[in-house]
Amino acid sequence: MKTAIYWFRNDLRLIDNPAFTQACKDSDFLLPIYIESRDRSIDNESPYPQIGKKRIRFLHESLLDLSDQLKGLGSNLFVLSGDHLEVFQKLLSDLNTNIIYCEKIEAVEELKQVSELLEAGFEVKTVWQSSMLDPGSLPFEIEQMPNVFTQFRLRVEKQKLKFTEPVDAPLVIPSVPMTFNTTCLSINLDEEIDDIHFYGGETKATLHIDQYFARRLVDTYKKTRNQLIGMDYSSKFSPWLALGCCSPRFIAKKLSEYEAQFGSNEGTYWLCFELLWRDYFRFLYSKNIHKYDPKQFSDITSEDLSEDFKTMKFKRWSTGYTQEPFIDAAMRELSSTGYLSNRMRQVVASYWIYNLNGNWRVGEAWFRSQLLDYDVYSNQGNWQYISGSGTDHQGGRQFNIARQSQDHDPMGIYRKMWLD
């Protein structure tokens, strides 16, 4: 009888989760777990920005939803706390199994975790499943992919690649090992919910996606995506994508079905275009993490940057008190909601880097702590794109703040909304 552990990471879903589906097929007993890392705690003493309460709440909502779904299939989700290696060594002792299934994540911290488990004698089976396109379907090896997005896009489109077909959720999940008996974390959701709120979990993600297409909002996506106020100007898929509450392949298939029914237009093309940007950052990160110094791509760990978070310019920028109203409105929206439009993310990043001469890695760390939809690939990729520290030969992108304010908030409604 084969017993295995499934380690949920950034794949908090059952639909289109090939790694979990494979674990279910291979195992007689399966223990689904999630490890709540100590560095997620809002009470940590790190010199770097703490993880925002709204992001933690969104995660916990997602875990509760996943737990409910697993219970409905006769299983459960066990949320454990601590260092990943210590957690698995304890489970090895309890269950007498060293077999772990999980999503493959090509980022420094996650690769290090898997490497440490392998060195400790665990058998870790990973599956890449976070992109719209499977790496094996690309018209080039990852190591030879173009560094510039336009070249990447043109080669993908020339091959008429759309998306990899998503897999169905498993119908049967193996029982939890009878020998498993440990204390798990309880999840508290007592914090007050904001008026503008993304509720975590696959159930809400699927409902949001279905409603987005049912209301035909995708038709106007290209025209409205740079607006600043409300839920309908862009897809708002990103918070659920970031935690893997839905997959980009699931969305791409819904989009394809929509085009088959209603026809394609510039809105449907542009939504696919943005999903391709997301893939590009993932593949580019994967390419470079094995080629260059990993410190270029890792999360902030250097004590040399800790002093930057103590400067007055960072405090004013991060809290929305720079005396530049357009910037201040955006930074207060970010702190209040955990979300910011793509347009304003670029504008405030440009202001931090070029107007305040700030280190892009410091700004990236603040976004990491605050954004509901943080993921290492897109966050670092976009900050490098604005700062000119990435692979794009055109250099950085500096925005004229006055021009952006006039173009996107000519009546001052957005500024009034967040500054009054």
Q: If you compute the radius of gyration of the chain from its CA atoms, what whole number of angstroms results?
A: 22
| Helix, coil or strand: residue 30 | strand
Domain count, the chain: 3
The beta-strand segments (E) located in 60-156 are 78-81, 99-103, 123-127
Tell me whether residue 184 is in a domain.
Answer: no
Q: 20-34 burial by CB neighbour count: b if 16+ within 10 A, else e?
A: bbbbbeebebbbbbb
Q: Quote the CA–CA distance of 405 and 270 in Å, as a whole number.
A: 24
Report phi then psi at 181, rounded to 5: -155, 100
Give the CATH number for residue 99: 3.40.50.620
- The answer to whether residues 286 and 142 belong to one domain is yes
Band (pLDDT 50/70/90 cuts) for residue 103 is: very high
Look at residue 236 in the predicted model and tell me its pLDDT.
96
The answer to whether the CB of 198 falls within 8 A of the CB of 292 is no
The answer to whether the CB of 156 falls within 8 A of the CB of 48 is no
Look at residue 306 in the predicted model and tell me its pLDDT.
78
- The answer to whether residues 368 and 311 belong to one domain is yes
Q: pLDDT tens across 195-231, in order?
A: 457 899 999 999 999 999 999 999 999 999 999 999 9
- The answer to whether residues 336 and 388 belong to one domain is yes
The answer to whether the CB of 43 falls within 8 A of the CB of 54 is no
Domain boundary (106, 129, 152) is at: 129
When pLDDT is averaged across residues 235-257 and rounded to a whole number, the result is 97
Long-range contacts at 132-139 (CB < 8 A, ≥ 24 apart) = 132/163, 132/164, 132/248, 132/249, 132/251, 132/252, 132/275, 132/276, 132/278, 132/279, 133/161, 133/163, 133/164, 133/276, 133/279, 134/164, 135/283, 135/286, 137/161, 137/164, 138/283
> Which residues lie closer than 8 Å to 208 by C-beta, 6 or more apart?
236, 237, 240
- The answer to whether residues 97 and 233 belong to one domain is no
Give the CATH number for residue 406: 1.10.579.10
- The answer to whether residues 278 and 135 belong to one domain is yes
Fill in the amino acid letter for 80.
Answer: L
- The answer to whether residues 136 and 278 belong to one domain is yes
Q: pLDDT tens across 31-60, in order?
A: 999 998 765 444 445 566 778 888 999 999
Sheet holding 29-36, edge to edge: 78-81, 29-36, 3-8, 99-103, 123-127
Q: What is the pTM of this model?
A: 0.92
Look at residue 183 in the predicted model and tell me its pLDDT.
62
Q: pLDDT tens across 151-202, in order?
A: 999 999 999 998 999 999 999 999 999 877 766 666 766 555 554 578 999 9
Q: Quote the CA–CA distance of 150 and 156 in Å, as a whole number.
A: 10
The answer to whether the CB of 12 falls within 8 A of the CB of 244 is yes
Q: Report CA dihedral (164, 170, 175, 180) to the nearest 10 degrees.
A: 30
Tell me whether residue 189 is in a domain.
Answer: no
When pLDDT is averaged across residues 130-144 and rounded to a whole number, the result is 95
Tell me whether residue 351 is in a domain.
Answer: yes
Q: pLDDT tens across 260-305, in order?
A: 999 999 999 999 999 999 999 999 999 988 664 444 444 444 456 7
Domain boundary (104, 129, 154) is at: 129
- The answer to whether residues 331 and 209 belong to one domain is no
Beta-ladder partners of 200: none
Looking at mean pLDDT, say which of 56-60, 81-85, 348-352, 367-371 comes out highest: 348-352
Look at residue 42 in the predicted model and tell me its pLDDT.
42
Tell me whether residue 50 is in a domain.
Answer: yes
Look at residue 41 in the predicted model and tell me its pLDDT.
44
- The answer to whether residues 268 and 338 belong to one domain is no
- The answer to whether residues 318 and 212 belong to one domain is no
Instruction: Tell me which residue range forms the domain holding 122.
Output: 1-129
pLDDT averaged over every residue in the chain? 90
Give the CATH number for residue 246: 1.25.40.80
Domain boundary (129, 157, 181) is at: 129
Tell me whether residue 183 is in a domain.
Answer: no
**Per-residue DSSP letter, 175:** B
- The answer to whether residues 329 and 277 belong to one domain is no
- The answer to whether residues 111 and 143 belong to one domain is no
- The answer to whether residues 359 and 383 belong to one domain is yes
Tell me whether residue 254 is in a domain.
Answer: yes
Q: 132-167 burial by CB neighbour count: b if 16+ within 10 A, else e?
A: bbbbeebeeebeebbeebeebbeebeeeebbbbebb
> Which residues lie closer than 8 Å to 118 by C-beta, 6 or more apart?
124
Of 121-130, 292-301, 326-335, 387-396, give the lowest mean pLDDT range: 292-301
Look at residue 185 in the predicted model and tell me its pLDDT.
63
Look at residue 408 in the predicted model and tell me its pLDDT.
96
- pLDDT for residue 403 is more than 80: yes
The answer to whether the CB of 65 falls within 8 A of the CB of 204 is yes
Q: pLDDT tens across 357-397, in order?
A: 999 999 999 999 999 999 989 999 999 999 988 776 677 88
Tell me whether residue 176 is in a domain.
Answer: no
Q: Quote the CA–CA distance of 137 and 156 in Å, as a whole number.
A: 9
Tell me whether residue 156 is in a domain.
Answer: yes
The beta-strand segments (E) located in 153-207 are none
Percent of the chain with pLDDT over 70: 89
